Amino acid sequence: MRPLLACALLTGLFLVPPAARADDAALRRAVADPARTPKFVARDAVRHPVEELEFFGITPRSTVVEIWPGGGYWTEILAPYLHDRGVYYVAMGAGDGTHVESAFSRFPQAEQERFDADPARFGRIRRTVLSQGHDDIAPAGSVDMVLTFRNLHNWMKQGDAEEMIAAVHKALKPGGIFCVEDHRARPDAPQDPRALSGYVRQDYAIALIEKAGFALVSHSEIDANPKDTTHWAKGVWTLPPTLALGEQDRARYQAIGEADNFVLRFRKVP
């Protein structure tokens, strides 16, 4: 048993999702929508979108910010789910080409065209910017929940994790929820402060975020992968879906699967 998991059991941190809600049916419909991109649907078995969002406690009436949504995997679920009764912001990176965030300044063209062509599902996405010096991801104190999927290591790489987390704290209501998923480093090696391998120690992430005015509420092992040793030639990108080594040992890395990931749920401390 991982040390942090054992500690959580002893201290009473929840390891299961909040109680099931009647609104869960809406979430399941959003995930099961046949209009979703097939390559995203193919990853549901490892990303567990229904279970993870239920664990976070999202509802169709939530005001939500997703930070740096990348290719749009979660956007295809969250935008329709929140369209009628909620509010959905996407905080994009700046596109100046000088930092990691530039890769997150826009959706891929095909995905953006998909959104533009379907306003009934994607017409209420609100765009903001999260980058160095641009920290207003939503009106201060207005947001129920901020989600970031596999981005903490990017913030560490560009050296502004504290600024990014402070922007999250500013946007959230008192008691608002900050949800973090990222690639989990082994706990028996020092943490690279720039996380150049793409891996972050879970205890390091918790300490960093709690220092910024949050309290850990719960964590989930839903995205755990014990086959991931984390020691790879091209870091986490050696594994699927990137497969950075191309055909070299491809079958081996596909058999391992996507990285071992932690899933953390924090509450803003008033």
Q: What is the mean pLDDT of residues 201-219?
A: 98
Domain ranges for the chain? 3-268
* Mean pLDDT of the residues in the chain: 92
Report the predicted TM-score, pTM, of the whole model to 2 decimal places.
0.91
Q: How far apart are CA 11 and CA 8, in angstroms?
A: 5
- The token pair that represents 120 in the structure block: 């009934």
CB 105 within 8 A of CB 144: no
Helix, coil or strand: residue 24: helix
Peptide bond into 241 cis (omega under 30): yes
CATH 3.40.430.10: does it fit domain 3-268?
Answer: no
The proportion of the chain whose per-residue pLDDT surpasses 70, expressed as a percent, equals 91
Q: DSSP state, 70?
A: T
pLDDT level of residue 156 (50, 70, 90 thresholds): very high
Say what the pLDDT of residue 270 is.
79
CA atoms within 13 A on the CB side of 182: 27
- The token pair that represents 62 in the structure block: 């939530």
Q: How far apart are CA 80 and CA 246, in angstroms?
A: 35
Burial 61-92 (b: 16+ CB within 10 A, else e): ebbbbbbbbbbbbbbbbbbbbbbeebbbbbbb
What would the pLDDT profile of 90-133 be if each residue is shown by its tens digit?
999 987 766 788 899 999 999 999 999 999 999 999 999 999 98
Say what the pLDDT of residue 6 is.
42
Say what the pLDDT of residue 38 is.
97
What would the pLDDT profile of 22-76 be if each residue is shown by its tens digit?
458 999 999 999 999 999 999 999 999 999 999 999 999 999 999 999 999 999 9
Q: How far apart are CA 255 and CA 68, in angstroms?
A: 28
Which residue do the tokens 């040793």 mark?
229
